[in-house]
Amino acid sequence: EAGVAQSPRYKIIEKRQSVAFWCNPISGHATLYWYQQILGQGPKLLIQFQNNGVVDDSQLPKDRFSAERLKGVDSTLKIQPAKLEDSAVYLCASSLFGLGGGTEAFFGQGTRLTVV
């Protein structure tokens, strides 16, 4: 079974530029998550999709971050414009359903973003 695919693996941009990350979840997984992991911290949930609808985006900085999952499969996360503090690893994860009942989330390898 193929895992969660993310691209690119690494990205370096200058502040105020824009960047986009792509995620393809495990086939058949209804729920998709984007996490931000700043160095030395645990992953922080940015946005959670159930199929193509947003379940939780309470911690997404909506003035600069946006995400979509148009067909309920793959997803893109965009930052525009980027700030230095956006430097982090962006992890995508998926689960078969939501997290109810302790459903496991499967993670991709992440995209390491460096803003200079």
Partner 1 sequence: AQSVTQLDSQVPVFEEAPVELRCNYSSSVSVYLFWYVQYPNQGLQLLLKYLSGSTLVKGINGFEAEFNKSQTSFHLRKPSVHISDTAEYFCAVSDDDKIIFGKGTRLHILP
d(CA 32, CA 35): 10
Residues 40-79 that bind partner 1 (CB under 8 A): 40-45, 48, 55-56
CB of 39 to partner 1, least distance (A): 10
d(CA 36, CA 91): 6
d(CA 67, CA 49): 10
Binding residue for partner 1, selected from 104, 113, 114, 116, defined by CB under 8 A: 104
Smaller CB distance to partner 1: residue 16 or 96?
96
Smaller CB distance to partner 1: residue 30 or 45?
45
Mention every residue, 6+ apart, whose C-beta is less than 8 A from residue 36. 43, 44, 46, 88, 89, 90, 91
Interface with partner 1 (CB under 8 A): 4, 40-45, 48, 55-56, 91, 93, 98-102, 104-110, 112
